[in-house]
Structure 1
Amino acid sequence: MAMAPLPLEALADWQKQATHALLNEQYAEAAQLYEQAIESNPEERSNYWHLGLLLLLQGEEAEAQTTWLFAMSEGEPDQVEQWVAELAQVLQTEAERRETLTDYSTAWAIRQHLREICPDIVDNLLKILQHSIGLDLFTDDTFEELGLPQSLPGAEVNTELLLHVLKSVLYHADPTPSLLNFAEGCIAAVSDTKALTEAVLPAAIRFAHSKMSAAFAADLVEAYLRLDPDNIEFLGHLASFYQNAKQYDRGIKVAERRYELTDDLPEKIFSNHLILRGLLGAGGYWQEALEIAQRHESLLHTLVEQQPTDVHSVLISRLLNSAYYLVYFYDQPQRWRRLENQILEFCQKNIQLHAAKQGRDYHHSTRDRTPKRLKIGYLSHCMATHSVGWLARCLLQHHDRDRFELYGYFLSYRKFHDPLQEWYVSQFDHVHKIETIGLGTNFAIATQIQQDEIDILIDLDSITLDLSCQILALKPAPIQATWLGWDASGLPAIDYFIADPYVLPDSAQDYYSEKIVRLPQTYIAVDGFEVGIPTLRPEHLGIPDNAIVFLSAQRGYKRHRDTVKLQMRILKQVPNSYFLIKGLSDQESISKFFAEIAAEEGVSSDRLRFLPDDPSVEIHRANLAIADVVLDTFPYNGATTTLETLWMEIPIVTKVGEQFAARNSYTMLVNAGITEGIAWTDDDYVEWGIRLGKDAALRQQIAWKLKQSKKTAPLWNGKQFTREMEKAYEQMWATYLSASELSDELSERS
C-alpha cells in the first residue's frame, strides 16, 4: 500500500535534513531521505531529479540516469519538456555551487550530464570547455565533442563567459583548424570590439612569436577584421604576421592599406616601415623598396623636426626600430646613424617621461661591489635557436663564475621545445622567463633588473626588438652595453658598443652616441659549429660534377641590386659556373629579380639555382660544402653565415665598407688569418670572384689555411675571447666607480 503524503511540517523538516546532508557530502543519507519522499509522494517529480543527482555524486551514473528516465517515462511531451527544464535547473544549480567551492572536477561531471539532457545550452558547453582546460582534459577533439562552434550562431550566450573562455582557449590550445573555427564563431557572436581586441590580439601575438605560428595568427586577425575591417592596430599586426609566414605580397598590401587609412605621422612611419619590411623580405622588389626607403627617410626627418609631444607609448615603441632597414640600402653610416641617434633620443625621452608620470624611478645608487662577483645581466629574445643564440654560446660557456654572477632575461620565452633555449637557461645563475608581453612589461622587467642589482646589462638585441629598447631606455642598470645583435641602437641610455679594430673604422666614434669599446682582436669568436650530414649534391640540382659552384646564402633583405650585378659579372667571366641562391624570401619575386639582372649582364638564367630551406641548421651548414666559393652581400654582409662558411673551410669574397654591417665578414676573415677574398672596391670584388672561380689551387690553399686556423686563430678561440670580454666588463665597472667617486667628491665640495 502506498504511503500517505508527508504533512507540510514534516516535508520541510526532511528537506532541511537532505540539504544539510548534501552540503556535508553525506550523499547516501540525503539519497535515503529523497527515496522516502518518493515513496510517500511518487508523483512529485522534483524528488527524482534530486535523487538522481545524489546517485551521480556517489559515482552511480547509470542509476542516476535510470532514475531520471523512469520519472519521465509516462509523461506527455509538454510535461516531459517541463520536467527536463526542472532537472536542468537542479543540475545547473549544483554545478554552480561546486564552482564556488572550486570543485571543478565535480562541476565538470555534472555539466556533462546536463549537456546530455539539454545539448543546446551554450553557456553549459562553454563551462565544460573551461573546466576541461583547467582539469587538463582538453584536446583538439573537445570542440567537436561539445558541438562547438556549431552551437554559437544565433544562440543565447553569456558574452562575458564567452570572452573569458575564448581567452583561456587561445592561451592553452595549439594552433589548429578546430581552434580557429571556434575563435571565428566566438568573434561572430560578440559585438563588443574592445573586449574582442583584449581577447584576440594578445593571443595572435603570442601565436606568432612564442609559438612560431604566424600563419595561424594572421587567420585569427583576419577573423576579427571581418567585424572591424579598418582597425589599423590589427592591420599592422596582420601585415607583420603575413610577412613572417612568407606571404609577402599579402603583407605588403595590408601595410599599404594601413598607410592610406591614417594621417598621423608616427602611424604613417610605422605603416611605411611595414611596407619596407615586406618589400625587402620578399627580396625581389628592389626598385619599389628603394622608393619606399626614400619616403621613409623623409618621414623620419619630419618626425625629428616636429618632435611631437602627444605620441602614445605604443607608437613610441614602434618608432624605436623604425630606421632599421635603411642600413640595407646604402653604406653611409654618417648619414643614417645620425638620424638613428636622433630618433632613439626622441623615443627615450618619451619613454622616460611616461615612466615619470607613473611614478617609476630606476635611479641606482653607487654600490661598492669590488670584493664581490660582478653581476652581469644578458637581455635578449635570441637566447634560443637563432643566429645570436648560436654565436653567444661560447661567452656563456667560458665565463669565470668566480668573478661573474650571471642573470638571464629571456624576452618572448618560447613555450615549445627549443634545445638551445634550454641550454641557455642552464647556463645562468638566475633566470627570468618573460613569456607574455604587453603594456607595462618594460616596467616590470626594468624593475626586476633594478631589484637584482645588476652591475652591467648586456643588450643582445639592439633595435631588432622594441621591448629591449624600452627596457634599456629606463636605465635599470648603472652600465649598459650592446653586443652582437645588430649594430648599436643609438639609445642615449646605452653606455658602450662592443666592437673590434676591424669591424668599425677609427672615425666611427664621430657618429656613435655610445662609446665604442674595441676588443683587442675580434668582437666575436666561437669554438665551432655542429655540422650534420649533407643532403645536396650537384647532380640533385642539374649541375655537372666539374662545374664551379658559387653560393650566396642570405635572406631577401640583403639582396642589393648593385651587388647582384657584380655577382652576375663574376658568373659571366667564370666558364662552367653556376650560382646557388638561398635564404628566406619570396621564391617568385626573388627568381624574377635575379633573372632580370642576369639578362642585363648577359648571363643565362639557366645558371641560377634557388635552394629551399634546409630541415635543420646543422644540415644547412653541411650543405654549404656544395659551394666552391661564397659570394657575400653588401652593404650588409653575412655574419653567422660568414662564420659558418669559414668553419666549413670555403673561400669567401666580401666587399668592405664603412658601416658595421659592411665590415662583419672583413673582421672574421682577418681573425681567421685570411686576406684572400677581401675587396675594397666593386672591381676588387669582381676580380676576387673571378680569380677564386678559376684558380682551384688558390681555393685549396685557402681551405688549408682555414683548416689550420682552427688551431690558433682568434676567431675560433672562444675561451680567449671570453677573457677579453671579461676584461672589458671590469674596465667598464672601474670607470663607473671612478666617475661615481668623483661625482660624490664634487657634490660634497659644492
Structure 2
Amino acid sequence: MTSSTLGTLKRQALDALGAGRLEEAADLYRRLLAQDAGAADLWNNLGVILSELKRPAEAAAALRAALILRPDYDKPWVGLGGEAYGGDRLDEAVRCWTRAIRLDPQQGAGLWFNLGVTRQMRGEAAEAALAFDRAEALLPDDPRVASQRLLCLNYLDLSGERLLAEHRRFDERFGGRAGGRTGERAEGGASSRPAIPHANRPDPEKRLRIGYLSVEFREHLGAYFLTPLFETASRSRFEIVCYSILPVAHGDAHTARFKAQADGWRDVGHLDDEALAAQIRADGIDILVDLAGHSGLNRLPMLALRPAPVQVTWLGYPNSTGMTSVDYRIVDPVSDPVGPTDTHAVETLVRLPAPFLCFRPPASAPPVVPLPAGATGAVTFGSFNKLSKITDGTIALWAEVLRRAPDARLLLKDRPLSDPGTAAAMKARFAAVGVDPDRLDLVGFIRDAAGHLAAYNRIDIALDPHPYNGTITTCDTLWMGAPLVTLAGSRHAARVGASLMTAIGLPELVAATPDRYAAIAADLAGDLTRLMRLRMGMRERVRASALCDETRFMRNLETAYRLIWRRWCDDAATGRLA
C-alpha cells in the first residue's frame, strides 16, 4: 500500500471518527494497522474507538499494544485509566492517570477533573482538592469545575470563614450577570447591575407559587426528604412548580409520583441559563428554592439572572452558595447556632425549629434484628458514609475509639470498596495510625435497596465522620436501630449529626470534643444492656420524633416561606426594590 493510500485511509478514519461512525472508523484503523502494525498512535486511536463502542477488553488490548511500542506515550495511559474507571477499578484508574501526567504534565482539564473525582471517591479528599485546583486553573470559566472543587473543600478541616471566602470567589466569577439581591449592591466583586424588575403581585397573603429546582426528583434524595413538600403542603396557600434538571430518561417511579403531585412540572435539563430563567419568570414563581447548592448537577449561575423575586437554597448542600443573588438558606438552631454560623453564609439564615429536614423512612427497610454483638461476640462500629468523608482526621478519631474498645470491630461500606485496590488503601490508612487491618470489615456495592439496608443489621453503633457528617446515611442508620455517636463542630456540615440526634432525643450521644466522642462510643460499647434497649426502641423513637413529623415540618417551612415573602412585599411597598 502506497504512502498516498495510507494517507487517504487515515483521513477517512479521522472523518468517520469525527462523524461518529465508530464501527467504520474501527475497520479503517484495523486496515491501517494491517499495513503498519508498529504505529503506536494507530493502536491508541483504535483503543479509543473500541472504548466508545463499549468493548473494554478489546480497547485495553489496543491501548496496551500502543504502550509496548511507545512506553513513554501518555495518551494510552489516559485511555486505560478511563477503562479502569468505567469498570470501578478506581485504584488502577488513579495509577494510570497519574502515569499519564508524569509523562506529560501539560494534561488537559478533563483529566485533572476526572482524577479529582476518583480520588474523592477513594477518600483522598486533600489530593482530590489539588487535582480540582489544577482543573479549575485550566478551565476557569466552567462553573461545574468550580462547584465540584467547592464540594470537595467541605470534606477538609477548614473553617467556615475560609470556606465562605472560597464560595464568594464563585460569585465573583459566575454571579456577575445580574448583580446581587434586588436593590442592593452585590458583594465580593460581582456586578452591581440591577436585576430586571419582577411582575409578581406584592400581596403578602396571596397563594404563593413555590418553585423547586432539583436533579433529585427521584428515589435517592427525593424519596427521603422531598415527599412532604408534595404530600403535606397546604395547597390552598401554596402552589408547587418543579423544575427538574434530571434527564428525562433517568427518572423512576418516584419521579412519576412527584410529577403527578406537582401543580406544574418542567423538564429543564436541556435549557441554557437564559432560557431557564425566562421560563421561571414566565411561570410567575414567587419563591424559587434551589435544592442542589454546589453538589451534582446544579444551575447556580442561572440564579444570578434572578428569575424569582425571592431565592432560597436548602437541603442539598452543606454550605453557603456564596451567591449574593440567593437571599436565604434554610437551617436550624442546632445545625447553625445563632451568631458564629451567620458569618459563614452570604445568605440570610432562616432557622426552622430543629431539624431543618424531614425524613420519610424507606418502605423497603427490613426489620431491626437483635443486637449483632450478641451473635458475633464483639461490638461492631460502622459507617456507610462515602469514603470522601473518611478523612485522615476521621480515621484518627475512629482509631482512638477502637483503642478504647479493644475487642470491637469497624465496618465500612461504600461502593468504591468493591475495588480491591481502594479497600487495600483504606486498610493501609488505618494501619498507619495503629489499627490492625484485620479489625476492619469492608463492604462494597450492594445493588438492591433492601439488601443495602439489611447490611445495617451488621453494626451495633454508628460512628459519624467529621467534619462532614452523614445525613441520609444517619437517617438510615437510626431507622435500622443503631445509635449514632457524633462530634459537633463549628460549621453546618459538622453539625448535621448533632441536629438529627437532638431531634430524636439523644443529645447525650453528641460530643463537644474528640476525646468525649471516643469516650461516648467506648462507654456505649461496654454497656450491651443499654445498647440493646436503644436498638429495640430506636425505630419507634425515630418515628415519633420531630425528624419524621411531616405535618410539623411543613407548617414550619411554610411559615418561613410566608415570612420571607412578606419581607419582600414590605420592601416592594417602601421602594427598597427600586
**TM-score grouping bracket, smaller chain normalisation:** 0.7 to 0.9
Distance in 2 of aligned mates of 1:660 and 1:595: 29
**Partner residue, 1:609:** 441
Check conservation: 1:236, 1:274, Cα contact below 8 A: no
Q: For 1:463-478, list aligned pairs within 5 A.
A: 463-465=294-296, 467-478=298-309
Deviation per residue, 1:607-627 (Å, 9 max, x gap): 211112222223322321221
**Partner residue, 2:233:** 399
For the structure 1 residues 471 and 343, does the alpha-carbon distance in structure 2 shift closer, same or farther, using more than 3 Å as the test? closer
Query: 3-state DSSP class of the match of 1:406?
Result: strand
Check conservation: 2:331, 2:356, Cα contact below 8 A: yes
**Partner residue, 2:343:** 510
Residue 712 of structure 1, aligned match among 544, 550, 557? 544
Say whether residues 1:626 and 2:458 are aligned partners: yes
Q: For 1:257-272, list aligned pairs within 5 A.
A: 257=100, 272=112
For the structure 1 residues 161 and 484, does the alpha-carbon distance in structure 2 shift closer, same or farther, using more than 3 Å as the test? same
Distance in 2 of aligned mates of 1:318 and 1:218: 27
**Partner residue, 1:684:** 516
Check conservation: 2:143, 2:301, Cα contact below 8 A: no
For the structure 1 residues 318 and 604, does the alpha-carbon distance in structure 2 shift closer, same or farther, using more than 3 Å as the test? closer
Check conservation: 1:676, 1:702, Cα contact below 8 A: no
For the structure 1 residues 325 and 245, does the alpha-carbon distance in structure 2 shift closer, same or farther, using more than 3 Å as the test? farther
Deviation per residue, 1:17-52 (Å, 9 max, x gap): xxxxxxxxxxxxxxxxxxxxxxxxxxxxxxxxxxxx
Residue 546 of structure 1: how far off its partner (Å):
2.3
Residue 278 of structure 2, aligned match among 439, 447, 450? 447
Distance in 1 of aligned mates of 2:546 and 2:208: 26
Query: 3-state DSSP class of the match of 2:382?
Result: strand
Query: 3-state DSSP class of the match of 1:462?
Result: coil
Check conservation: 1:345, 1:490, Cα contact below 8 A: no
TM score, norm. by length of structure 1: 0.62
For the structure 1 residues 639 and 365, does the alpha-carbon distance in structure 2 shift closer, same or farther, using more than 3 Å as the test? same
**Partner residue, 1:33:** none
Check conservation: 2:358, 2:548, Cα contact below 8 A: yes
Say whether residues 1:556 and 2:387 are aligned partners: yes
Q: For 1:531-542, list aligned pairs within 5 A.
A: 531-533=364-366
Residue 453 of structure 1: how far off its partner (Å):
1.1
Query: 3-state DSSP class of the match of 1:349?
Result: coil
Distance in 2 of aligned mates of 1:341 and 1:273: 21
**Partner residue, 2:310:** 479
For the structure 1 residues 576 and 394, does the alpha-carbon distance in structure 2 shift closer, same or farther, using more than 3 Å as the test? same
Distance in 2 of aligned mates of 1:720 and 1:215: 52
**Partner residue, 1:411:** 245
Distance in 1 of aligned mates of 2:420 and 2:17: 43
TM score, norm. by length of structure 2: 0.78
Query: 3-state DSSP class of the match of 1:622?
Result: helix
Residue 533 of structure 1: how far off its partner (Å):
4.1
Distance in 2 of aligned mates of 1:673 and 1:187: 66
Residue 461 of structure 1, aligned match among 279, 287, 292? 292
For the structure 1 residues 518 and 380, does the alpha-carbon distance in structure 2 shift closer, same or farther, using more than 3 Å as the test? same
Residue 515 of structure 1: how far off its partner (Å):
0.6
Query: 3-state DSSP class of the match of 2:294?
Result: helix
Residue 472 of structure 1: how far off its partner (Å):
1.6
Q: CA RMSD in A?
A: 4.6
**Partner residue, 2:146:** 319
Say whether residues 1:658 and 2:479 are aligned partners: no
For the structure 1 residues 637 and 158, does the alpha-carbon distance in structure 2 shift closer, same or farther, using more than 3 Å as the test? closer
**Partner residue, 1:695:** 527
Residue 389 of structure 1: how far off its partner (Å):
4.6
Residue 321 of structure 1: how far off its partner (Å):
3.5
For the structure 1 residues 691 and 584, does the alpha-carbon distance in structure 2 shift closer, same or farther, using more than 3 Å as the test? same
**Partner residue, 2:36:** none
**Partner residue, 1:139:** none
Distance in 2 of aligned mates of 1:218 and 1:470: 37
**Partner residue, 2:70:** none
Q: Which runs of 5+ in 2 are unaligned?
A: 1-7, 32-47, 67-73, 181-193
Deviation per residue, 1:103-130 (Å, 9 max, x gap): xxxxxxxxxxxxxxxxxxxxxxxxxxxx
Amino acid of the residue matched to residue 430 of structure 1?
G
**Partner residue, 1:374:** 208
Say whether residues 1:426 and 2:253 are aligned partners: no
Residue 90 of structure 2, aligned match among 248, 256, 276? 248
Amino acid of the residue matched to residue 716 of structure 1?
C
Check conservation: 2:115, 2:131, Cα contact below 8 A: no
For the structure 1 residues 165 and 686, does the alpha-carbon distance in structure 2 shift closer, same or farther, using more than 3 Å as the test? closer
Say whether residues 1:740 and 2:576 are aligned partners: no
Bigger share in helix:
1
Say whether residues 1:338 and 2:165 are aligned partners: yes
Check conservation: 2:215, 2:298, Cα contact below 8 A: no
Residue 221 of structure 1: how far off its partner (Å):
11
Say whether residues 1:282 and 2:122 are aligned partners: yes
**Partner residue, 1:570:** 401
Whichever of the two has the greater Rg, that structure is: 1
Distance in 2 of aligned mates of 1:393 and 1:549: 33
Residue 451 of structure 1: how far off its partner (Å):
0.9
Query: 3-state DSSP class of the match of 2:322?
Result: coil
Distance in 2 of aligned mates of 1:452 and 1:259: 52
Query: 3-state DSSP class of the match of 1:464?
Result: coil
Q: For 1:488-527, list aligned pairs within 5 A.
A: 488-506=320-338, 507-527=340-360
Amino acid of the residue matched to residue 284 of structure 2?
E
Amino acid of the residue matched to residue 333 of structure 1?
G
Check conservation: 1:256, 1:275, Cα contact below 8 A: no
Amino acid of the residue matched to residue 456 of structure 1?
I
Amino acid of the residue matched to residue 399 of structure 1?
A
Query: 3-state DSSP class of the match of 2:324?
Result: coil
Residue 707 of structure 1: how far off its partner (Å):
3.8
Check conservation: 1:218, 1:238, Cα contact below 8 A: no
Point out which structure has higher relative CO (alpha carbons under 8 A, 6+ apart). Answer: 2
Query: 3-state DSSP class of the match of 2:376?
Result: coil
Check conservation: 1:638, 1:665, Cα contact below 8 A: yes
In the comparison of the two structures, how many residue pairs are matched?
533
For the structure 1 residues 244 and 469, does the alpha-carbon distance in structure 2 shift closer, same or farther, using more than 3 Å as the test? farther
Among the aligned pairs, what percent are the same residue?
Answer: 24
Residue 240 of structure 1: how far off its partner (Å):
8.5
Residue 702 of structure 1: how far off its partner (Å):
2.6
**Partner residue, 2:176:** 349
Query: 3-state DSSP class of the match of 1:508?
Result: helix
Deviation per residue, 1:522-556 (Å, 9 max, x gap): 101124222344899999xx996322222111112
Deviation per residue, 1:631-666 (Å, 9 max, x gap): 111111111000111122211111111121111111
Query: 3-state DSSP class of the match of 2:394?
Result: helix
For the structure 1 residues 612 and 321, does the alpha-carbon distance in structure 2 shift closer, same or farther, using more than 3 Å as the test? closer
Check conservation: 1:635, 1:662, Cα contact below 8 A: yes
For the structure 1 residues 363 and 649, does the alpha-carbon distance in structure 2 shift closer, same or farther, using more than 3 Å as the test? same
Amino acid of the residue matched to residue 258 of structure 2?
Y
Say whether residues 1:675 and 2:502 are aligned partners: no
Residue 338 of structure 1: how far off its partner (Å):
1.6
**Partner residue, 1:293:** 129
Check conservation: 2:150, 2:294, Cα contact below 8 A: no
**Partner residue, 2:480:** 648
Q: Which moved more, 1:590-599 or 1:370-379?
A: 590-599
Residue 383 of structure 1: how far off its partner (Å):
1.3
Check conservation: 1:331, 1:659, Cα contact below 8 A: no
**Partner residue, 1:582:** 413
Residue 385 of structure 1: how far off its partner (Å):
2.4
Q: Which runs of 5+ in 1 are unaligned?
A: 1-152, 167-179, 190-203, 205-212, 354-359
Query: 3-state DSSP class of the match of 2:380?
Result: strand
Deviation per residue, 1:461-502 (Å, 9 max, x gap): 101145411222222111111111012321221111100001
